[in-house]
A and B are shown apart, each in its own frame.
Chain A
Amino acid sequence: MSEQRRIGVYICHCGGNISDFVDVAAVRDAVGDEADVVVAETALFACSDGTQKDMEQAIRDQNLDGLVVASCSPKLHLFTFRGVARRAGLNPFEYSHVNVREQDSWAHGDDTAAATEKAISLVRAGIARTRLSEPLDVLTVETTPKALVIGAGIAGLRAAIGLADVGLGVYLIEREAELGGWVGTLGAMFPADRDGREMIASLVAEVRKRPSIIVLTRAELISKSGSFGNYVAEIRVRTDGEAGQVIRAEVGSIIVATGTDSYQPEAGEFGYGIDGVLTLPEFTRLVDSAEGPLTRNGRPVRTIAYIYCVGNRQPGGNEYCSKFCCTAAVHDSVKVSRLDPSVHQYHLHRDIRTYGKYELLYTESRERGSVYLKFADDAPPSVALGPDGRLTVTTTDTLTPGAELAIPADLVVLVTGMVARQNDALKSILKVPVGSDGFFNEIHPKLRPVETMVDGVLVAGACQGPKTSAEAVASGLTAVTQTAAILKKGVAELDPLVAAVDPAACTWCGVCAQTCPYEAIASVAADGKQIAVISATTCKGCGGCAPLCPADAIDLRGYTDAQITSMIDGMAREPVG
């Protein structure tokens, strides 16, 4: 491409974040004489409304066909300046972003001459890239106005109702025979003592009222194909005595709400395995089933010791805090006290994390007589059977120095947290990134809290990480809003920076098709030969096929061979001259 371009270049001061370390005027002077550059300016804040308007004016007045802004990281303002281009009638993909803050001024504040030299070479690379850019159209695909919700716990049920109420069709699939998940097994829950089973029953009744929700129990996702807006999901439904039935569902998006498991202690971990040592869910079931003062195996329970943070906040193990378990255990102790105020309850903890208004429950439990004893992180309590056959918990209270306490107890409750569900089959079908803790990863916990790296596959509830039921419902509703935003328009916009084949160079060896895990590449007949063709809507834009093509016939748009090599040349040039 040798025709003359008309490129505008802006170098941002970022107040002083850049210009305190980079001589922005020297950068402007150095790149102002570059071929094809017709505007070169500095700006105090390139992202300010005023400067954005100035840029739009320059694009129109100077008839610019390319734009380069050297400023902060593209994570902050790539879309801002693409928007400037678009508003001024310039194709947004003629814009190149150059990062001279995070990757220059802030990293080289100890050497301003070298930082300026680096900025010049980075801007030259940006100009080189835009010189070879071409206008691209955002890809649009028609979308199917239906969603698949995987998991009918509280998050999935609430999401299904929400989706139906915004006019989307829903497949709600549940692996178990019953709907309701964890919450469906619970009695009175914190903070307002609402009964989990009743809450689930009312949600299930709401689901049944909505004919646009198809509920499948004993059903699992066995394959997913297609792409964002038009997925095809195959669902196997188990039936007694038969191989089961496979149902094919066409959906625009998928909400994963597969929930969580409770940590299961090892035998011997804090005495687990000894009669009378229970996990938090086991204890909660015992309390919820009690109709009077607590008994176990026919004997009254007079003393309970709780040990917190079992299986969580463990270096080398589950390092995270499950954050619901403190409040759940404190709430259980309040329920026990309501059944029989004379029960002695000792809470052995590292910290109590009854956050927000749950603090009131902590206060109530103390007013009801619960005793809280803090142990050191490196000195956890131990549990043993005493000579009298009673359980004894031994701990050192950090607030009474040197005081080792031996607490005889009828029950020891191991306050266990949440762990990620083992579900490798589902994970490999969905291809949603999973963190080192085993939970599904959203793109950003605050900015994009239910979206994943796989377009159109959303996550909600405790499959993302430990959540209270209220938090699980909130994320389920967030997923509804996000799904509505992408499916109610009827068309989806996709980034066009995907791989493309040069038909003249392609000899159809099939290497690219074999290497693409998304099955985006197929062979077609064209001009008397077979060539590869890449589906722009299925391609993820990784570019992994390009280096493998023996004929060098594949380029990734926005990162073409010509663009990258010219960027390298632009960066490598001597700073002056």
Chain B
Amino acid sequence: MPEGDDGAWSPRILVFSTNNISDPGIDLAGSRHLHYPPGVRVISVPCSSGIRPSWIMHAFRAGFDGVFVASDGEECALLPDCAGRSAKITADAQEQMRPAGLEPGRLKMAALCSVCAEPFVNYMREFSASLTELGPVSMATAS
């Protein structure tokens, strides 16, 4: 279990981002040396419509305390209905989280643009704070 500077528990967050839209925004946060909680890990895919609900569930089983989908929103150059598809993927994951005893607040989604450095940092700080209140992830059913 990861520990912060003061030895206290701090949450692990898995972010799914996209190669051409949200990932440049996350890169920009680093380029501007904006700090956000280091428990954040990013996996980048071409489009948020390609994220599988099973990957989100797998992340919880692997020990991530929260999952954040940094979606393409209306800017997606690949799929005109990307926002709706991405929303359905997180809704499907929420359906699977409930019987597993996972709080809905452990999965968040927001559209993140290619220059959205500050919004990303704010999302991560807020999400980390709310996950700290929820405490470490625990699954009600064995995986």
A111 to B8, CA, bound (A): 14
List, in ascending order, chain A residues with CB within 8 A of B82's CB: 544
Interface set, chain A 78-104, CB cutoff 8 A to B: 99, 101-104
- CB-CB under 8 A from B50, the residues of chain A are 542-544, 546-547, 556, 559
**B52 nearest in chain A by CB position:** A547
- Give which listed residue, B27, B34, B43, B49, contacts A544 with CB less than 8 A: B49
> Is there an interface contact between A73 and B89, defined as CB atoms closer than 8 Å?
no
Asked whether B51 is an interface residue with its Cβ less than 8 Å from the other chain, the reply is yes
Q: Say whether A115 contacts B46, CB under 8 Å.
A: no
Which B-chain residue is minimally distant from A546 (CB atoms)?
A: B50
Question: Please, which residues of chain A bring their CB within 8 A of the CB of B35?
Answer: 107-110
A118 B43 Cβ-Cβ under 8 A: no
CB of B57, distance to nearest CB on chain A (Å): 10
- Residues from 41 to 76 in A contacting B, C-beta threshold 8 Å: 73-75
**Are A542 and B78 in contact (CB-based, < 8 A)?**
yes
CB within 8 Å of A: which B20-36 residues: 20, 23-24, 26-31, 33-36
**CB neighbours of A74 from chain B (8 A):** 19
Q: Which of B29, B43, B45, B54 contacts A543 (CB 8 A)?
A: B45
- Is A453 a contact of B43 with CB atoms below 8 Å? no
Partner of A453, one of B39, B45, B77: B77
- Quick check: A114 and B4 within 8 Å, CB to CB? yes
**Interface stretch of the complex, out of B58-66, B94-102, B103-111, B125-133:** B58-66
Complex Cα gap A484–B89 (Å): 41
Question: In the assembled complex, how far is the CB of residue A430 from the closest CB belonging to chain B, in whole angstroms?
Answer: 11
Instruction: Report B-chain residues with C-beta under 8 Å of the C-beta of A107.
Output: 29-30, 33-36, 38
A568 touches B77 (CB 8 A): no
Task: Kindly state whether residue B135 has any CB partner on chain A within 8 Å.
Answer: no
Q: Which of A109, A547, A559 contacts B46 (CB 8 A)?
A: A559
Contact A118 B38 (CB under 8 A): yes
Min CB–CB distance A346 → chain B (angstroms):
39
Contact of B5 (CB < 8 Å), options: A101, A109, A113, A454: A113
Contacting B49 at CB < 8 Å: which of A75, A106, A543?
Answer: A543
A198 at the interface (CB under 8 A from B): no
CB of B47 within 8 A of chain A? yes
Is there a chain B Cβ closer than 8 Å to A541's Cβ? yes
CB within 8 Å: A-B pair count: 130
CB pair A572–B59 under 8 Å, yes or no, is yes
- In the assembled complex, the CB of B135 is this many whole angstroms from the nearest CB of chain A, namely 17
For the complex, is A121 an interface residue (Cβ under 8 Å from B)? Answer: yes
Interface flags, B118-143, vs A, CB<8A=1, else 0 = 00000000000000000000000000
Answer whether residue B55 sits at the interface, using C-beta atoms and an 8 A cutoff.
yes
B75 touches A111 (CB 8 A): no
Of A101, A111, A543, A568, which is within 8 A of B62 by CB?
A: A568
Q: Which residues of B sit under 8 angstroms from A122, Cβ to Cβ?
A: 41
**Does A168 sit within 8 A of B, measured CB to CB?**
no
Q: Is A569 part of the binding interface, using a Cβ–Cβ cutoff of 8 Å?
A: yes
In the complex, what's the smallest C-beta–C-beta distance from A572 to chain B, in angstroms?
A: 4
Tell me, rounded to whole Å, the shortest Cβ–Cβ distance linking A549 to chain B. Answer: 10
Q: Indicate if A307 sits at the interface (CB-CB under 8 A).
A: no
When distances are taken between beta carbons in the complex, the residues of chain B under 8 Å from A115 are 38
Chain A residues whose C-beta falls within 8 Å of the C-beta of B20 in the assembled complex: 453
Scan residues 522-577 of chain A and give those whose CB is less than 8 A from a CB of chain B.
540-544, 546-547, 556, 559, 561, 564-565, 567-569, 571-572, 575
Write the chain B residue with the least CB distance to A544. B49
CB distance B12 to A572 under 8 Å? yes
B20's nearest neighbour on chain A, judged by CB, is A453
Tell me the bound Cα distance from A111 to B35 in angstroms: 9
Per-position binary interface string of chain B over residues 76-97, scored 1 when its CB falls under 8 Å from any chain A CB and 0 otherwise: 0111101001000100000000
Closest CB of chain A to B117's CB: distance in Å?
10
Contact with B along A460-482 (1 / 0, CB 8 A): 00000000000000000000000
B residues near A101, Cβ cutoff 8 Å:
30
A125, CB-defined interface residue at 8 Å? yes
Q: Could you tell me if B78 and A544 are in contact, using CB atoms closer than 8 angstroms?
A: yes
Bound CA span A497–B19, Å: 13
Contact of A564 among B33, B43, B49, B63 (CB under 8 A): B43
- What residues of chain A lie closer than 8 Å to B12, measured between beta carbons? 572
Give Cα A353–Cα B63 distance, bound, in whole angstroms.
57
Q: How far is the CA of A109 from the CA of B29 in the complex (A)?
A: 12
Contact A568 B55 (CB under 8 A): yes
Q: Give CA–CA (A546, B46) in the complex, Å.
A: 12
B47 touches A571 (CB 8 A): no
Once bound together, how far apart are the Cα atoms of A99 and B85, in whole Å? 27
A103-B30, A115-B38, A118-B38 known; A569+B4 contact, CB < 8 A: no
Contact indicator A102/B27 (Cβ below 8 Å): yes
- Which 9 residue pairs spanning A and B have beta carbons closest together? A543-B50, A453-B77, A114-B38, A102-B30, A572-B62, A544-B49, A106-B30, A542-B78, A102-B27
Q: Can you pick out 30 interface pairs between chain A and chain B where the beta carbons lie within 8 Å of each other?
A: A99-B42, A102-B30, A103-B30, A106-B31, A107-B30, A107-B33, A107-B35, A107-B38, A108-B35, A121-B41, A125-B41, A433-B75, A453-B20, A453-B78, A517-B80, A540-B78, A541-B46, A542-B47, A542-B49, A542-B78, A543-B49, A559-B46, A559-B50, A561-B52, A561-B54, A561-B55, A568-B55, A568-B62, A572-B59, A572-B64
6 other A-B residue contacts (CB within 8 Å) besides A107-B34, A111-B38, A115-B38: A102-B27, A117-B38, A542-B47, A542-B78, A564-B43, A569-B62
Interface residues of B, Cβ cutoff 8 Å to A:
2, 4-5, 12, 14, 19-20, 23-24, 26-31, 33-36, 38-39, 41-43, 45-47, 49-55, 58-59, 62-64, 75, 77-80, 82, 85, 89
- Which residues in A have some Cβ–Cβ distance to B below 8 Å? 73-75, 99, 101-111, 113-115, 117-118, 121-122, 125, 431, 433, 453-454, 497, 517, 540-544, 546-547, 556, 559, 561, 564-565, 567-569, 571-572, 575
